[in-house]
Chain A
Amino acid sequence: MPNNPNTSFIPKQGPVRRPRQTAARHVHVLSVFAYMVFASSLVASVGVFFYQKHVETQLQQQVAELNTAIADFSQEDMDEVRMFNNRLTQARERLEKGVSIVSILDALEASVLQAVSFEELNLVRADAGDIELEASITTDSFDSALFQRGVFERSNAVNSMSVEDLALESQTSSEEGDVITDGGVRFIAKIGVLATSVPNVPKSVMTTDAFSDNDTSLSSSTATSSDETVLEETNEVTI
């Protein structure tokens, strides 16, 4: 029997080292994803927190700016300017609607025939500014009445013209032979005059061609004569 010292029914490990078993490192995708998501959400939360603070600060700044701007607004200044503007507008409106009654009378003077006489004159200014004249007129004949009506009708300034209550009146005398009323034609002339035809405007801008029907011209100029007057005017009406 060979002499084998290594005889044992129990197997013995030899001197050869058994290879060391190293544990395999597994990189789990889910784990990486989970950490990334968590880290991102944390970063985002912090970012959102600070950005929100920044935006709120901006809002407060805007509110403060708006309050400052509102505080800078002066209601007194606004009222003062608005009142001045309102007064200026009203004054301009009155000046624009100004009508020269003297010009109308001048125009009537120049357009009335020698045989025509006024007994009564009523003048009414409508809300729009136009003028209605109602004149009680006597003439010596129908021809004069017709001619007078024609002169008025051909006038550019006259907007409307009508003759009413036309009547022929004979001469009446007393028993002693004194003339009580002259005979003739009596009528009422209703004349409408446009306000724009006879404006009452300052001298520097005055031009009027009202009643420009024939070649007779008439002008009236008025000068500032006292401390009560401020507007120097020339109202010209061409007949």
Chain B
Amino acid sequence: MIPYGLFSQVLLIITSVLLVLTYIKPAFVEISNTQEEIETYQAEIEKVSSVNSKLAALVSEYDNVPNQDKIKLLTYMPDKVDSVSVPRDLDAIAKRAGVNLESVSYDGAPEPVVQYDETGTPFFEDVNTSEPHTFSVSFESSYSQLKEVLSLMEENIYPLELKEMSVIEGEGGFLTVEMQVVTYASIRELPPEVVF
């Protein structure tokens, strides 16, 4: 028969072991997990704070850009191309060079090429590139007038790039000029099925 004293001692030890196994050890595991979570959160906080501070610096830099320059940039690279004001400007340029335009028309912008990834999700690679808009212009002029037109186009406040030009000498030394002029919009018009 086990004496009462020995029994209580063994019971105490068993209770202690059970306490360790059922509470202390799991609690340590939980604490360890919680500490790992804390480290993860700390890392994320650092990242978010870093982004916030960089963003704050960029916003400050952006705010320091003079409004006049912002307007110039917006004029040079607008969100959208106005298909009426560009022909008007081309006409003004031609008139300034002493040329009357025979025709000017808006040819539009190329359709963006939509691609699909493995999951079938559509995406558009060149979403950040500018969108070219083409205008066709034709007129008759002398050579010096043609150069003046081209010169004024190069000086314009927004890009009027010559994409194609055909010059044919006509009667009386006058030139028949046909050209395709490209200007750019900052934001691309995407098809509605493209989701980002």
Contacts and interface: CB of A to CB of B under 8 A. Distances in A.
B20 A59 contact: no
B161 A98 contact: yes
Contact residues on A (Cβ < 8 Å of other chain), bracket:
35 or more
B165 A30 contact: no
B80 interface: no
A38 B169 contact: no
Given A62-B42, A78-B55, A230-B157, A42 B169 contact: no
Given A40-B16, A59-B37, A73-B48, A101 B165 contact: yes
A69 to B, nearest CB: 4
A233 interface: yes
Contacts of B72: 230
Contacts of B35: 55
Interface string B11-22: 011011101100
B159 interface: yes
A154 interface: no
Contacts of A38: 12-13, 15-16
A66 B130 contact: no
B67 interface: no
B5 interface: yes
B58 interface: yes
A233 B155 contact: yes
Interface string B54-98: 010011001001000010111111000000000001001100100
B18 to A, nearest CB: 9
Instruction: Say what secondary structure dominates the interface of chain B.
Output: helix
B109 to A, nearest CB: 14
Contacts of B30: 52
Contacts of A44: 20, 24
B29 to A, nearest CB: 11
Contact of A31 (B5, B16, B157, B163): B5
Contact of B31 (A34, A51, A101): A51
Contacts of B77: 87, 90-91, 94
B93 to A, nearest CB: 8
B36 to A, nearest CB: 10
A224 interface: yes
Contacts of B51: 73
Contact of A62 (B38, B89, B147, B155): B38
A231 B152 CA distance: 10
B78 to A, nearest CB: 9
B162 A123 contact: yes
Given A51-B31, A229-B157, 15 more contacts: A34-B13, A63-B41, A72-B52, A73-B51, A73-B52, A80-B62, A81-B58, A81-B59, A81-B62, A84-B62, A84-B65, A90-B186, A121-B166, A228-B93, A233-B155
8 contacts: A37-B13, A41-B16, A41-B20, A73-B51, A102-B151, A124-B163, A222-B155, A230-B155
